[in-house]
Chain A
C-alpha cells in the first residue's frame, strides 16, 4: 500500500517532457546568430516596446529608443534566463532606457503652435497623451498598450508578464482616472 502510495506520488510529480515554445525557439535561434529569428522577435514585440517607451518619452524620440532597446537586447540575449519571458525582459529594458533618456536631460517635448489649436484632432491627441503620461506608471503603461497599440487585455498580460487580473484592474482604474481628468462622463458601474 505504502509502496503504491510512493509510486503514485512519484509518477504524479514527475515532470512531463516540455516542448519548447515558438518564442523559446526563436530566442535560441537568435542566440546562435540567426538574424532572421531576431527580426521575428522584433516584429512580435516592437509594439509592446513602443507602447512602454511612449508612455514615458516624447513621441519624437520613441523610435530611436525602440531601436536602442532592441540593439541592447540583441547584445545581451545570452543573459536571458527564461527564454519564454522575452516580453517581460524587453519591457524591463525599455523602462530602463526610458529612465536613461531623462537622466541624459534631453529637451522636453514642446507643443508647437500648429498643434495647439482647439479643433485640431492631433492637438487633442497630444493633450490626451499628456494626460495619460501624468497618470501613475502602472495605469499609463496599460492604457497606452490598450488604447494606442491596440492590444487586448490578455495580450498585454501575456507580453508583459503581468497576470490578467492585474491588467484588468489597471485598465479599469486607469480608464476611470483618465475619464475624470478629461472631464468625460462615463457610465457609472
Chain B
C-alpha cells in the first residue's frame, strides 16, 4: 500500500485504485444547484384607516371622565340657598314675671310675615350647609317639606313645647339676673371705690 497515494494520490496503489473505480458509481455527479426561495412582494391595496378601540384610547377616556367628575365636584359651590316655602314656626314669648303659667304661643309681630299683603306666600331663605353631590335629594325633600303649625300639634306635643319654652325662658331670665348682678357690682366698684387698685 502506498501511503502517498492514499494521502495525495501521488505514486501508485492498485488496490486503492480498484476500490476507487468500483465505488465511483456513488460519486457525486454535478447537478444544478437547488432553486433558491425568492422573496415575492404582493402589492396590497391601501386600506382606509380603521378605527380600533385600543387600550390607550380607553385609558384616555377614563382619565377624561375622572377629570370632568372632579372638576364638577369642585366647581359647584357647597353652600346653597334653599327656598323653604311656608310660614315661620310660632315663637313662644314670655310676657311679665316668670311664673309657672302656661306660655302664650302668639305669632311674633316683629318677625317677617310668611304671607305677603296681597295674600301670596313668600318664600323664606334659610342658609344651609349641605354637600351637594351627596345629599341633594334630602335637601330638596327638606326644602319642599312644610313646617307644621302650632295649632296642628297634639296635646302632648303642645305640652312638651310649652315646657321647653318655659325652661328656655327661665334660663334666659336667670342669665339676665346674673348679668344685672354683675353690672351692679361693677358699678359699685367704680363709684364707691375709685382707688380700689
Interface residues of A (CB under 8 A from B): 35, 38-39, 42-43, 46-47, 50-51, 54, 59, 63, 67, 70-71, 74-75, 121-122, 124-125, 128-129, 146-150, 152-154, 168, 171-172, 175, 184, 186-187, 189
Contacts and interface: CB of A to CB of B under 8 A. Distances in A.
Contacts of A38: 33, 36
A152 B28 contact: no
Nearest to A176: B1
Contacts of B24: 148
Given A38-B36, A154-B8, A50 B3 contact: no
B28 to A, nearest CB: 4
Contacts of A125: 22-23, 25-26
A47 to B, nearest CB: 5
Interface in B1-48: 1, 3, 6-9, 15-16, 19-20, 22-28, 30-31, 33-34, 36-37
17 contacts: A38-B33, A38-B36, A43-B33, A46-B31, A74-B37, A121-B22, A128-B23, A129-B23, A147-B20, A148-B23, A148-B26, A150-B20, A153-B8, A171-B6, A172-B3, A172-B6, A189-B1
A95 to B, nearest CB: 17
Closest 10 pairs (CB-CB, A-B) = A50-B28, A42-B33, A153-B7, A187-B1, A47-B28, A39-B33, A67-B34, A152-B8, A148-B23, A125-B22
Interface of B: 1, 3, 6-9, 15-16, 19-20, 22-28, 30-31, 33-34, 36-37
B141 to A, nearest CB: 78
A124 B9 CA distance: 23
A139 B15 CA distance: 18
A35 B16 CA distance: 38
Contact of A147 (B3, B8, B19, B28): B19
Given A125-B25, A187-B1, A63 B31 contact: yes
B83 to A, nearest CB: 83
Q: Which of B3, B31, B34 has the most CB of A within 10 A?
A: B34
B16 to A, nearest CB: 7
B6 A70 contact: no
A152 B9 contact: yes
Nearest to B20: A147
Nearest to A73: B34
Contacts of B3: 172, 189
Contacts of B9: 152
A30 B106 CA distance: 114
A148 B33 CA distance: 21
Nearest to A69: B34
A38 B1 CA distance: 40
Contacts of B7: 152-153, 168, 171
B159 to A, nearest CB: 104
